[in-house]
Amino acid sequence: MGQLGLSNQPAHHVPFMYLFSDRPERTSEVLHECVDRLFDGVAIGQGWPGDEDNGEFSAWWLLVSMGLYPLDVASGFFVLTTPQLPAVTWTRPDGTRLSVRTQGEGIYSAAVSVNGQVWTSPLIAASLLHGDCEIVVTLSPEPTGWGRGQAGPGWLEGQGYRHDLTSRGRLLGENDDVARLTDDEGVTPVDLAVGARLELVAEKDEPARVWTLTAAEPGEVEVSVSVRRQGGLEYAGKPPGDRPLAG
């Protein structure tokens, strides 16, 4: 198992990272080894790994065993992996069914169909699972390349992350102490006089969308922000909502 400590919750996502590489079959290999070795209970090192946390670990086992996993809960997608069980069916109170079954033998996915349609991506919208849905996974004893290149950076478009402009810019103020406001420590207080002016000069022309000023002690800090490009004013005023920033 290497350095994978599956009883530590952050590690539960680790096997699925291979889906974003050129070797998505490694996800199946690692998940099968996890389930076969850690939940078997027949030898030393093959018992239940513990850290159940009110059902979270049991839910992980169940989701992995049926081959559907909510890797990014807020994205609206599940990831499809090779099921550990030959068939699983959920019957909901409204009578609709979600069924996942396998055909053939092996630990790798050779082909997948969703409601009879060929499926080539390891991603599936959660909305497709809400009604009647049948997922059939054809197994293979050898890697087939199924899903390769289908869960790359394109899936992350629109979610993205924010670049910290302060780490690549110069913060100017009344004295040199203001540089400590962006030292990335989060615990270094800097005294600012009423009406103090701070100016961040970006390394290059980049859009600025979020400003954060954290108070060192409980209270309120009221700020006004302006963003300028060379040659003109882009934005000026209080942060969106026109309210003080509470620290």
For residue range 2-46, list pLDDT tens digits in order: 778 888 888 899 999 999 888 999 999 999 999 988 887 666 656
Tell me if 8 sits within 8 A of 14, measured CB to CB.
no
SS3 97: strand
Q: Which residue has the higher pLDDT, 179 or 114?
A: 114
| pLDDT reported for residue 219 | 78
DSSP E strand boundaries for 71-198: 77-80, 87-91, 97-103, 108-114, 117-119, 123-125, 133-140, 169-172
Which domains can be identified in the chain, with CATH numbers? 9-140 (3.30.2080.10), 163-207 (no CATH)
Mean pLDDT over each residue of the chain, to the nearest integer: 82
pTM of the model: 0.61
Where does the pLDDT of residue 162 fall: very low under 50, low under 70, confident under 90, or very high at 90 and above? low
**CA–CA dist 69, 80 (Å, integer):** 7
| pLDDT reported for residue 125 | 92
Which run of H or of E encompasses 69?
strand 68-69
| pLDDT reported for residue 7 | 81
Q: 208-238, pLDDT tens digit by residue?
A: 777 777 778 887 778 787 777 655 555 555 5
Q: 104-124, pLDDT tens digit by residue?
A: 999 999 999 999 999 999 999
